[in-house]
Chain A
Amino acid sequence: MKCNKFRENIVLDLYGELDNKEKAELEEHIQACAECAKDYEYSKSVFQALEDAETEDIPEPAWDSNWGKINLAIRDKPKPQPLFGLSPKWTYAAAGVTLVFILGIFTGRFWLPQKQAGPISAELSQEYIQRTLAQHFENIKPVLVEMANYTAQDNGNGTVLLDKAAMENLIIQNILLKSLISGKNPTAVQILEDVDLVLRELANIDEGDSGTKSMIKKLIDDREILVNMKILQHM
Chain B
Amino acid sequence: MNETEIVQMAQQGDTSAFRQLFEENKRRVFTLAFQYTKNKEDAEDILQETFIKAFHSLNKFKAQDDTNFSSWLYRIGINASIDHLRKNKMKKDNYIDSDQLPSISSDDGFSQPEHAIRIKEIRTKLDLTLSQLPKGQRMVFILRHYQQLSVKEIADTMKCSEGSVKKQLFRAFQMIKKRFKSLFPEDNYEMQ
- A8 touching B170 by the CB < 8 A rule? yes
How long is the Cα–Cα vector from A175 to B35 in the complex, in angstroms? 42
With beta carbons under 8 angstroms apart, the residue of A17, A58, A70 that contacts B48 is A70
Considering only CB atoms, which chain B residue lies closest to A73 in the complex?
Answer: B52
Number of cross-chain contacts by CB at 8 Å: 98
Q: A143 near B: Cβ within 8 Å?
A: no
Residues of B with C-beta under 8 A to A63:
26
Binds B, one of A34-42, A127-135, A149-157, A206-214: A34-42
Considering only CB atoms, which chain A residue lies closest to B39 in the complex?
Answer: A59
Q: Say yes or no: A12-B56 contact (C-beta < 8 A), given A41-B189, A56-B123.
A: no
Considering only CB atoms, which chain B residue lies closest to A38 in the complex?
Answer: B189
Residues of B with C-beta under 8 A to A43:
173, 177
CB-contacts of A14-39 with B (<8 A): 14-15, 17, 34, 37-38
Q: Give the interface centre of A14, A37, A54 by most chain B CB atoms within 10 Å.
A: A54
- A74 touching B123 by the CB < 8 A rule? no
How long is the Cα–Cα vector from A99 to B170 in the complex, in angstroms? 56
Q: Give the interface centre of A53, A54, A73 by most chain B CB atoms within 10 Å.
A: A53
- A66 touching B122 by the CB < 8 A rule? no
Q: Is the interface of B mostly helix, strand, loop or mixed?
A: helix
Q: Say yes or no: A54-B146 contact (C-beta < 8 A), given A11-B169, A79-B13.
A: yes
- Give how many B residues have a beta carbon under 8 Å from the other chain's beta carbons: 44
- The minimal Cβ–Cβ distance linking B21 to chain A, given in whole angstroms, is 11
Q: B22 near A: Cβ within 8 Å?
A: yes
Q: Say yes or no: A66-B18 contact (C-beta < 8 A), given A42-B189, A46-B177, A77-B55.
A: no
CB-contacts of A48-96 with B (<8 A): 49-50, 52-54, 56, 58-59, 61-63, 66-67, 69-71, 73-75, 77-79
Considering only CB atoms, which chain B residue lies closest to A41 in the complex?
Answer: B189
Residues of B with C-beta under 8 A to A58:
30-31, 34-35
How long is the Cα–Cα vector from A73 to B56 in the complex, in angstroms? 10
How long is the Cα–Cα vector from A52 to B118 in the complex, in angstroms? 10
- A49 touching B186 by the CB < 8 A rule? no
Q: A45 near B: Cβ within 8 Å?
A: yes
- B18 touching A38 by the CB < 8 A rule? no
Contact bitstring B44-57, A, C-beta under 8 A = 1, else 0:
10011001100110
- B173 touching A67 by the CB < 8 A rule? no
CB-contacts of B115-159 with A (<8 A): 119, 122-123, 126, 144-146, 150-151
- A11 touching B173 by the CB < 8 A rule? yes
Q: B65 near A: Cβ within 8 Å?
A: no
- B126 touching A50 by the CB < 8 A rule? yes
- A71 touching B166 by the CB < 8 A rule? no
- The minimal Cβ–Cβ distance linking B113 to chain A, given in whole angstroms, is 16
| Smallest CB-CB A-B distances: 3 pairs | A53-B122, A78-B13, A8-B170
A residues apposed to B, CB below 8 Å = 7-8, 11-12, 14-15, 17, 34, 37-38, 41-43, 45-46, 49-50, 52-54, 56, 58-59, 61-63, 66-67, 69-71, 73-75, 77-79
B residues apposed to A, CB below 8 Å = 13, 15, 18-19, 22, 26, 30-31, 34-35, 40, 43-44, 47-48, 51-52, 55-56, 119, 122-123, 126, 144-146, 150-151, 166-167, 169-170, 173-174, 176-177, 180, 183-184, 186, 188-191
